[in-house]
Amino acid sequence: MSSGLGRIRPLFTLYMPLAPFVLFALFPLYFMVVTSFKTNAELYDVNAVPFWIKRGVTFGHYQLLSQDTLFWSWFVNSLLVSVAATIISVVIGILAAYPLARLRFPGGDSFGVAIFITYLVPPSLLFLPLTTVVNRLGLSDSLWSLVVTYPTFLVPFCTWLLLGYFRTVPKEIEECAMLDGCNRLQTLLRILLPVAVPGVICAALFAFTLSWNEFLYALVFVSPAELKTMTVGVYSELIRGDIYYWGGLMAGACIGSLPIVIAYVFFLDYYVSGLTAGAVK
């Protein structure tokens, strides 16, 4: 960053040190993609070079996914659930973060801490009692069970992130708006939210990622084949006892990563700037 450096220097001080990080991050994913296009004969040949495909690319694993399983239904289910859970969580998060950031009221501090403490309860344990609740609500075997339960681990994070973000926004403009007769909700919607867009997008991306990756609740609360989410579906069809369909599993992982990758490509800058304010404060 400092001035007066040669043009060559960043190559040694920046790009070369970065290379191992990028390699470390990307290699497993590259390997995932390569595996998904390999024929079984090559995949299971111990003498074959594992890095690339020599004996022809196959789309067989993708075909297996599309034709022999309900993959696309699972994909759409994952999408529906993740979008719905994200919207709900972000809305609840915004509502909760606003008073925590702006208002002083009895119990406010404790609530802020309580929200964080929910993360201390391991989901591997929480899910059993939660099963009873979901069943009482009559939501078993419906995607709603996931839309309702995912916010339990999304809302705390969204609230916490947005709370930080709201704090960075100067409150003077809000005070002016209220002098002009706006109520709290109007101020939040018209004044605060428009300037807090990066924070909201950051929270939404986070929530979407966590929902998309969720496995345990999706496994426990939903059984019918056509209602499964993607990861659970792929697991149940492609791991058969002591036989793993490696190509198919990797193909599922590739397609399954796409929506999130696309989302991040579009919103990466917001993500960083959202975190900048949200996480720092």
Partner 1 sequence: MSQVSRRQFLRTTAAGAAGAVALGRAPAHAQARELTFLSVASFVPDTDKELKRQFEEWGAKNKVKVRLDIIAHLQLQTKKAAEVQARSGHDLTALGPGLGDADLYFDYLADLNDVATDVAPKNGGWLNPDDYLIRGKWKLLPWWMPPFPMAVRTDLLEKLGEKNPDTWEDWLRIGKKGKAMGHPFGTAMGHSADANVTLLSILWSYGGTYIAKDGKTITLNSKETRAALDFVKRLYTEAMDPEVLAWDDASNNRCLNAGKCIGIHNPISAYESAKRDKVLVPGTQREISEVIDHIHTPRGPVARKATTGYWCVGVWNFSKNVDLAKDFLRYHFQPDNLGKWVEAGRGFNMPFLANLTKHAVYKSDKQYRFIPEVAKVSVPPSWPGPTTAASQQVLDLYIIPDMFAQHATGKMTADQAIAWAEKELQEIYAGRKRKP
Partner 2 sequence: MRLKTANGDLAKLAATGDARTSGLSEFLVRDTPVAYAFIGPAFFLLLFLVAYPFVLSLWFSLSDARVGETGSFVGLENFQRLLRSGIFLQTLQNSIIFTTAALTLKTVLGMILALLLFRLVHFKRLIRGAVLLPFIVPTALSTLVWWWMFEPLYSVVNWTLKALHIVNRDIPWLPDPYLAMFTVILVNTWRGLPFFAITLLAGLVAVPKEMYEAAESDGAGPIGRFWYITVPLLKPVLAVVILFSAIFTLADFNIVYILTKGGPINMTHLFATYSFALGLQSGQIGQGAAVSLFLFPILLAVVFVQLRLARRAAMYE
Residue 131 binds partner 1, judged by CB under 8 A: yes
Residue 241 binds partner 1, judged by CB under 8 A: yes
Cβ pair 65, 171 in contact under 8 A: no
Q: How far is CA 231 from the centre of its chain?
A: 13
Instruction: List the one residue from 141, 177, 195, 273 that touches partner 1 (CB under 8 A).
Output: 141
21 contact partners, CB below 8 Å, separation of at least 6: none
Residue 247 binds partner 2, judged by CB under 8 A: no
Residue 193 binds partner 2, judged by CB under 8 A: no
Residue 32 binds partner 2, judged by CB under 8 A: yes
- Burial label, 177 (beta-carbon count in 10 A; 0-12, 13-18, 19+): middle
Stretch that binds partner 1, among 70-78, 95-103, 113-121, 161-169 (CB under 8 A): 70-78
Residue 192 binds partner 1, judged by CB under 8 A: no
Residue 115 binds partner 2, judged by CB under 8 A: yes
Q: Which does 8 bind (CB under 5 to 8 A by kind): partner 1, partner 2, none?
A: none
- Burial label, 77 (beta-carbon count in 10 A; 0-12, 13-18, 19+): buried
Q: Which does 63 bind (CB under 5 to 8 A by kind): partner 2, partner 1, none?
A: none
Instruction: List the one residue from 31, 44, 52, 119 that touches partner 1 (CB under 8 A).
Output: 44
Which tokens is 5 given? Answer: 């450096």
Residue 243 binds partner 2, judged by CB under 8 A: no
Q: Which of residues 197-226 bind partner 2 (CB under 8 A)?
A: 209, 212-213, 215
Q: Which does 79 bind (CB under 5 to 8 A by kind): partner 1, partner 2, none?
A: none
Which tokens is 25 given? Answer: 């991050």
Between CA 53 and CA 41 the distance in angstroms is 11
Q: How many CA atoms lie within 13 A of 11 on its CB side?
A: 4
